[in-house]
């Protein structure tokens, strides 16, 4: 496809390819604007459910204009192939930084975490839940004006859930099929819950920041079913037991982000950013909500937007975050656990086969 025209962009170089499509470097001959053009393979461009999910990325990222979220220029069909033209980013995936350094300093974690949370706060305000936050989907760009000299860009909103004003999903996955990346998925995603909201991203951010602090995700298991069980039932390990020199406030924040029940986490990314900034300044961090305050909390797009607008209030100093008594796996009938694992694994395999 080198030299061909896709939309208003001329393809100049293949950047990468996968099982479902390819990514090209391209430019607009009239303006000189550079772009990364993602193209679905012809056989997948004919499958309505795949195309819908593909264009979901364009709709999700394109509706949120924020320096921490990749820009979408256009999307459509070219010679019967679905494509999306995106901002071309010259940077380093967070995954590569982890491979080079294993663990990041607290200062770097706080700076990156604040940027990520503020970018996702903008997405959540527009009713968009990313649902697949992980190091692979976070790019770092050298920028002398950004904190610690690195600016964050969040990519791949392909699994994003768009919410309408009633909080109902306008883009749905097949019922019962788990969507996301196992090491960073919230418990409610493992349950394939229909009412997943922005707090799943808060848990995902907790997993990512935990990885940066400790050099590994919260739960390290080889098997899919073991990872599922851990995210559903095991309390997250204390970061201070895995890495030296972890600040008490940062450890408390991470464990709060990784609470099993959404209502026991911080409730908005604005709250998370506020807490990270407070730790960076050496101040007391804002309190996470109590269980009584959030027992029946739901956060559709309208609620997320209004909540984001109310986060300027002063928060009290934070006592140790309330911890839930973990659910003991021994109390779950082994047959039920095995059946649940089988159903989820079968669903994941079916989803992979269908695209």
Active site residues: 132
Q: How far is CA 52 from the centre of its chain?
A: 20
Q: Which distant-in-sequence residues (6+ apart) come within 8 Å of 354 by Cβ?
A: 47, 49, 50
CA 54, CA 83: separation in Å to the nearest integer?
8
Q: Which distant-in-sequence residues (6+ apart) come within 8 Å of 125 by Cβ?
A: 304, 305, 308
| 3 state DSSP class of 75 | strand
Question: How many CA atoms lie less than 13 Å away from 155 in the CB half-sphere?
Answer: 22
| 3 state DSSP class of 259 | coil
User: 146-149 long-range CB contacts below 8 Å, 24 or more apart?
Assistant: 146/115, 147/111, 147/114, 147/115, 148/107, 148/108, 148/111, 148/112
Structure tokens belonging to residue 191: 């349950």
Structure tokens belonging to residue 107: 């200062």
Residues 266 and 256 sit within 8 Å (Cβ to Cβ): yes
CA 229, CA 175: separation in Å to the nearest integer?
20
CA 61, CA 67: separation in Å to the nearest integer?
11
Strand order in the sheet with 5-6: 5-6, 9-17, 21-27, 34-40, 81-86, 72-78
CA 3, CA 188: separation in Å to the nearest integer?
45
């Amino acid at each position: 496809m080198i030299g061909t025209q896709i939309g208003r962009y001329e393809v100049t170089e293949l950047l990468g390819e996968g099982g479902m499509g390819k990514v090209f470097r391209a430019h607009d001959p009239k303006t000189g604007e550079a772009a990364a053009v993602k193209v679905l393979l012809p056989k997948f461009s004919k499958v309505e459910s795949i195309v819908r999910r593909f264009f979901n990325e364009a709709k999700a990222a394109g509706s949120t204009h924020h320096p921490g979220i990749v820009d979408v220029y256009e999307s459509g069909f070219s010679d019967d192939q679905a494509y999306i033209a995106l901002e071309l980013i010259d940077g380093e995936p967070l995954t590569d930084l982890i491979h080079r350094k294993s663990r990041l300093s607290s200062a770097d974690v706080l700076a990156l975490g604040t940027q990520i949370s503020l970018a996702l706060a903008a997405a959540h305000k527009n009713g968009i839940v990313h649902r697949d936050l992980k190091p692979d989907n976070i790019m770092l760009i050298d920028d002398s004006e950004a904190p610690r000299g690195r600016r964050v860009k969040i990519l791949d909103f392909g699994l994003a859930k768009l919410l309408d004003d009633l909080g109902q999903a306008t883009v749905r996955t097949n019922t019962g099929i788990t969507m996301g990346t196992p090491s960073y998925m919230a418990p409610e995603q493992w349950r394939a819950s229909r009412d997943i909201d922005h707090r799943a991203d808060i848990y995902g951010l907790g997993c990512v920041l935990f990885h940066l602090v400790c050099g590994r995700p919260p739960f390290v298991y080889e098997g899919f079913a073991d990872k599922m069980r851990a995210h559903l039932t095991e309390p997250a390990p204390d970061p201070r037991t895995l890495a030296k020199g972890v600040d008490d406030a940062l450890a408390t924040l991470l464990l709060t982000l990784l609470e099993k029940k959404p209502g026991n986490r911080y409730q908005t990314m604005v709250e998370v950013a506020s807490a990270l900034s407070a730790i960076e300044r050496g101040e007391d961090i804002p309190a996470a909500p109590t269980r009584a305050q959030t027992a029946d909390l739901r956060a559709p797009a309208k609620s997320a937007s209004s909540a984001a607008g109310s986060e300027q209030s002063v928060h009290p100093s934070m006592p140790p975050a309330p911890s839930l008594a973990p659910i003991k796996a021994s109390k779950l009938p082994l047959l039920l656990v095995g059946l649940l694992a089988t159903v989820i694994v079968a669903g994941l395999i079916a989803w992979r086969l269908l695209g």
